Amino acid sequence: MNAASDPTRRMKEFHQVRARAMRLSAAGGPLAPVELPLGPWGEHQVLIEVAACGVCRTDLHLLDGELPQANYPVVPGHEIVGHVRARGAEVTAFQIGERVGVPWLARTCGHCRYCRDGAENLCDQPTFTGCSVDGGFATHVLADSRFCLPIPPLYSDAEAAPLLCAGLIGYRAYRACRDARALGLYGFGAAAHLLAQVALAEGRAVFAFTRPGDLVAQQFARELGAEWAGDSGQAAPRVLDAAIIFAPVGALVPVALRAVRKGGRVVCAGIHMSDIPSFPYQALWGERSVSSIANLTRADGQEFMQLAARVRLRPSVEIFPLARANDALARLRAGELRGAAVLDPRLREEESR
């Protein structure tokens, strides 16, 4: 058996590979370049050479110390697209060289009541990529193959990255809106721009609410086919059936409740939000409801990737070299991105697209 075909030997060779990564040593940041050994290996793990990793609002919450699940120091990044370079002994799902995606849900316990009931997104002992274990702001990453997803071939590496959180957790929020015909989206960033495309493909009307005065985001929403786009404080031109709040702004909850019809739903899709101000019961009356969306299940991931293979989404991405991760986060925080920021570890620092 030669080195290439002997899996144990191959694993040992890769054990000596060190990843270049942008790591957060503690809340407050900034991210700093480091070299990290890869391991220890698990039998279900794959070694992935990262081709692209999306930058998500959750990474800002990680930077700001707002996530109790965080395990510093940590390499952020939970929208990873890359190629399998080595496999643990028990890996059956993916071949060497195959392109895979690594989402936010890195592992679950498999035995708590939620895991047993098909709600592994609510697992009592979960592991999250780029939060409780190192993620994809790196040249290489280890991931549990049982939680990795296939990537539809019609997307480039950079286009596929935002599908892995913005797309699929956004899709979980979208499904929670059931058959809403008139759908409000509060915060028009990476998730909303993908979900708007899904909603429009399914014949729904989209109403986009942005930060006050963000005419660029409003124009972007209209270009994608939104029926209306305006400031979050403005009234929608018609009553909504449901609304999804992507912005981490608790004050939008009563605003969205006033915009939905009787029986309508308001779904909060982010992992963290500022406090929700008190509001009169009248805003909730009429069987309106408010709920949150937490994480994803593997079934969500499979379902969304099948949808993305069927409906050609057009992710709008801005690509940064890995070394410019701090710039990408700053642009996201300032609301200066059109769509999603994606890090490409193969680009040199002076390059960006």
Residues that bind Zn ion (CB under 5 A): 56, 58, 108-109, 112, 115, 123, 165
CB of 14 to Zn ion, least distance (A): 27
C-alpha angle with apex 129: 128 to 135, nearest 5 degrees?
155
Q: Which is nearer to Zn ion, 255 or 305 (CB)?
A: 305
Phi, psi of 50 (to 5 degrees): -75, 130
Record the tokens describing residue 350, joined without a space: 């002076």
CB of 230 to Zn ion, least distance (A): 26
Record the tokens describing residue 146, joined without a space: 């049982």
Do residues 104 and 126 make contact, with C-beta atoms less than 8 angstroms apart? no
Q: Which is nearer to Zn ion, 56 or 199 (CB)?
A: 56
Q: Which is nearer to Zn ion, 107 or 288 (CB)?
A: 107
CB of 324 to Zn ion, least distance (A): 19
Q: Which is nearer to Zn ion, 19 or 166 (CB)?
A: 166
Q: Which is nearer to Zn ion, 290 or 340 (CB)?
A: 340
Do residues 335 and 214 make contact, with C-beta atoms less than 8 angstroms apart? yes
**Distance (Å, whole) CA 5 – CA 154:** 30
Record the tokens describing residue 276, joined without a space: 């929700």
CB of 181 to Zn ion, least distance (A): 28
Phi, psi of 322 (to 5 degrees): -50, -40
* Nearest of 150, 119, 43 to residue 295 by alpha carbon: 119
Q: Which is nearer to Zn ion, 106 or 260 (CB)?
A: 106
* Nearest of 55, 12, 24 to residue 352 by alpha carbon: 55
CB of 176 to Zn ion, least distance (A): 17
Do residues 208 and 232 make contact, with C-beta atoms less than 8 angstroms apart? no
Do residues 316 and 340 make contact, with C-beta atoms less than 8 angstroms apart? yes
Phi, psi of 26 (to 5 degrees): -160, 165
CB of 166 to Zn ion, least distance (A): 6
Residue 25 identity (one-letter amino acid)? S
Phi, psi of 340 (to 5 degrees): -120, 145
CB of 275 to Zn ion, least distance (A): 22
* Nearest of 326, 350, 300, 294 to residue 55 by alpha carbon: 326
* Nearest of 67, 34, 27, 44 to residue 140 by alpha carbon: 34
Q: Which is nearer to Zn ion, 162 or 230 (CB)?
A: 162
CB of 22 to Zn ion, least distance (A): 16
Phi, psi of 91 (to 5 degrees): -75, 125
CB of 243 to Zn ion, least distance (A): 20
